[in-house]
Amino acid sequence: MDGIAAISARIATLQGTLNTLGGTARTTQAAPSTSAVDFASVLAAQTAATQTAPTQTVAMPTAATQTAPVQAAAAPTTPANLPTVPGYTAEQVGNAAAVVETGRTMGLSLRDQALAVMTAMGESSLRVLDHGDTAGPDSRGLFQQRDNGAWGTLAERMDPAASSRSFYSALARVEGRETMAPTLVAHTVQRNADPQHYARYWEGAVSLVARITGTTPAQVTAG
């Protein structure tokens, strides 16, 4: 728009000059004067320059720039580098880590996590077993959970995280467990024939949870 206004002003100036040079208008058509030819040339040149002047453009983002940066994959639910714990295989430590991580995500205390690891030690030696025993032939998984509808499907009972959630859900309903002996808490959930069955595994479970979580045994037992 600024270029057109400038041309219009230039035209008005040139037209005034032509009127002065040409005098009054003639009644007959005459050949164009040198001034008129110059005016036409100037007008054509300026108009062409205005029409061909580059306009400012805004580069549109390409598909590559429109694509949002890919978010880094979420950290795995179990530690990437599990500790080496004497007396336990990598499988056992990995299963214990899955139990601990599930308890952490559910907001349960370190002591509750150790209770769960202790129970899995007493039931399966921290292995996902695909068989039961004489007392419970339909028992499966880390916690040897029965096929009675209370512990989910077979796939859930065989999954360390899913079976841990089932255990923790039952554990959370045990009132006063903070002051109960650990083996009695586990017995309340599992209904084992021997209430003292899990006692021998408590110290090992506390030590294992401390190693996995980077805490001390005292912190674990304190909750």
Which has more pLDDT, 216 or 34? 216
If one compares 68 and 203, the residue with the highest pLDDT of the two is 203
The residue-averaged pLDDT of 185-192 equals 96
Task: Establish how many alpha carbons lie within 13 A of residue 90's alpha carbon, considering only the half-sphere containing its beta carbon.
Answer: 4
Predicted local distance difference test score (pLDDT) of residue 9:
61
Q: Provide the pLDDT for residue 10.
A: 60
Number of H helices, E strands in the chain: 10, 0
For the record, the structure tokens of 39 come out as 């005016």
| 8 Å CB contact between 95 and 142 | yes
Question: Would you place residue 223 in the very low, low, confident or very high pLDDT band (cuts 50, 70, 90)?
Answer: confident
pLDDT at 220: 98
Q: Which residue has the higher pLDDT, 176 or 61?
A: 176
Question: What is the C-alpha separation between 60 and 110, in angstroms, rounded?
Answer: 54
DSSP 112-152: HHHHHHHHHHHHHSS---S---SS-TT-BTTTTB-SSSSS-
Q: According to the model, what pLDDT value does residue 78 have?
A: 46
Distance, first Cα to last Cα, the chain: 77
- For residue range 111-156, list pLDDT tens digits in order: 999 999 999 999 999 999 999 988 899 999 999 999 999 999 999 9
pLDDT tens digits, one per residue of 62-99: 443 343 333 333 334 445 689 999 999 999 999 999 99
Q: How many CB atoms sit inside 10 A of residue 201's CB?
A: 23
pLDDT digits (tens, 9 = 90+) for 9-66: 665 565 555 455 444 444 444 444 444 445 445 445 554 544 444 444 444 444 433 4
Read off the pLDDT of each residue in 189-195 and give the average, rounded to a whole number.
93
* CA distances in angstroms from 217 to 31, 133, 200, 208, listed in the order given: 112, 32, 16, 9
Question: Do residues 174 and 185 make contact, with C-beta atoms less than 8 angstroms apart?
Answer: yes
